[in-house]
A and B are shown apart, each in its own frame.
Chain A
């Protein structure tokens, strides 16, 4: 596991992989367990209909609550899963170079015949792979748990929405990485990327109700992640490509900056 920087970075995440993996399986089990209750809760549906449109839109469209696609689109794909993926992504992206720089471990690492850009590439591939493993674990858990409780869910569209969430996570990973590579400050990188994640989430969440926000919705990665309910309608390739392009842009900015910057000791 220490053959190169890629495997060392994956190895560093092994406990995270175990902990998050167990957490994601339990989350899938919990959601599959509660769905039949929510489905049967006619009273709850009535209550939901009485909520103000703003609240309904923020938490998801209540009329879909009775279907598996509607319910699971609301939870976990509207807030919980993107939030979890973004937390992991920003934590790792900001730490990839800036964390090492602040801890002082970067000098010895880069004293090896390891180009700076390869360091960024190998770490990003490793973190991206770990996030992808979370995605696969969650997909398998959702398939298994929904079948356990007799819920029919389209496996392909489930994979699509989780993949879209992975792309969203990688976009914020690359943003945090780029901030870390430009400025070498981990907390600054977390602040900028976390702040942007919150702002763009709120823009996307309120844009359907607030006329003045609507044109800005296209600036939010959350809109391209699941703006049209991927679980119900399938992945929109152009949206996925746009997220991938955004991640690639931030990644290139990170490599460009890190290749040229003075490293602090």
Chain B
């Protein structure tokens, strides 16, 4: 499969501060590619370099085989973009804003914009300055999707949105995948990436620490667990469970960390009367430490 996005040792610094260093990414046609990292890791910098808003200090980047520096306009024809922070023309209504953006692309995407607005329950007739942040973000999403671009570059697309709209966005991403559109989206939320993506690149402190298939990531996924029981439990019941690391063992409770699938653990717990079960994603820093060690910049 042809590479839609391909970067080679892409680097960018802001004065003395590192933005990204030696970033190598290859996104294949038709895949949903996650770009995972904590805030400040370099996700937005990478995206802004890809979009031609920032000039890389060194390295190469191509989108659809077009050099990101020399052919940014041709590239933008094929790309729908959502920035991390959406700032709109506040004096326009949503309808006028989207019509203007459709006109900048030769009028394409207008019927789709109205359809997407009704799907996301986004008011188009009100002035943009009167809309909530969530609704402004929806306008940003609509302008990215409405012209059915070959590539969607979405910077934290679900940030600031309620769960219903988030769900709708994942459906839109799923539909884009079905239409053979390629999606590159950044997030600091592991479950989101696991839910939507085929592959993921993980960035930390400006460097890519891993690029993996989602199945591989899931197989290594670590979750913090806490189980409370209504009866005394036999600790031996949990000893042989692969991937379970028991941190605190009580008479009627168990706290620990689980790597990989939960099936065996749930079956073992079900042998006793379970009062409460909670499972939480660790934050990204914990994941990095668990997966890649403290200073692993080498991969």
Q: Which residues of A pack against B, CB within 8 Å?
A: 2-5, 8, 12, 103-105, 107-115, 260, 262-263, 265
Contact = CB atoms under 8 A, between A and B. Distances in A.
A114 B73 contact: yes
A108 B103 contact: no
B83 A107 contact: yes
A4 B103 contact: yes
Given A2-B96, A265-B44, A108 B104 contact: no
Contacts of A262: 53-55
A1 B168 CA distance: 33
B103 A2 contact: yes
Contact of A108 (B54, B74, B140): B140
B271 to A, nearest CB: 54
A110 to B, nearest CB: 7
B101 A104 contact: no
A113 B73 CA distance: 5
A49 B99 CA distance: 62
Contacts, number: 68
Interface stretch (B24-32, B84-92, B184-192, B203-211): B84-92
Given A105-B89, A263-B53, A265-B44, A113 B104 contact: yes
Given A2-B96, A105-B88, A108-B86, A113 B55 contact: no
B81 A111 contact: yes
Which 7 pairs across A and B sit closest by C-beta, in order of nearness? Answer: A104-B87, A111-B81, A2-B100, A112-B104, A113-B77, A263-B53, A113-B76
Interface in B97-118: 99-101, 103-105
B53 A5 contact: no
Contacts of B51: 107, 110-111
Query: Most chain-B CB neighbours within 10 Å: which of A8, A111, A260?
Result: A111
A64 B81 CA distance: 62
Interface residues of B, number: 31
Interface of B: 44, 48, 51-55, 73-74, 76-77, 79, 81, 83-89, 91-92, 96, 99-101, 103-105, 140, 143
Nearest to B139: A108
Contacts of A115: 73
Contacts of B77: 113
Contacts of A107: 48, 51, 53, 81, 83, 87
Nearest to B153: A111
Nearest to B76: A113
24 contacts: A2-B103, A4-B104, A5-B104, A12-B91, A104-B87, A107-B51, A107-B53, A107-B83, A107-B87, A108-B83, A108-B87, A108-B88, A108-B140, A110-B52, A110-B53, A111-B79, A111-B81, A112-B76, A112-B104, A113-B105, A114-B76, A262-B54, A263-B53, A265-B83
Contact of B87 (A2, A105, A110, A114): A105
A4 B140 CA distance: 19
Contacts of A110: 51-53, 76
Contacts of A8: 100
Given A2-B96, A114-B73, 12 more contacts: A2-B100, A12-B91, A105-B89, A107-B81, A107-B83, A110-B76, A111-B51, A112-B101, A113-B77, A113-B104, A114-B76, A265-B84
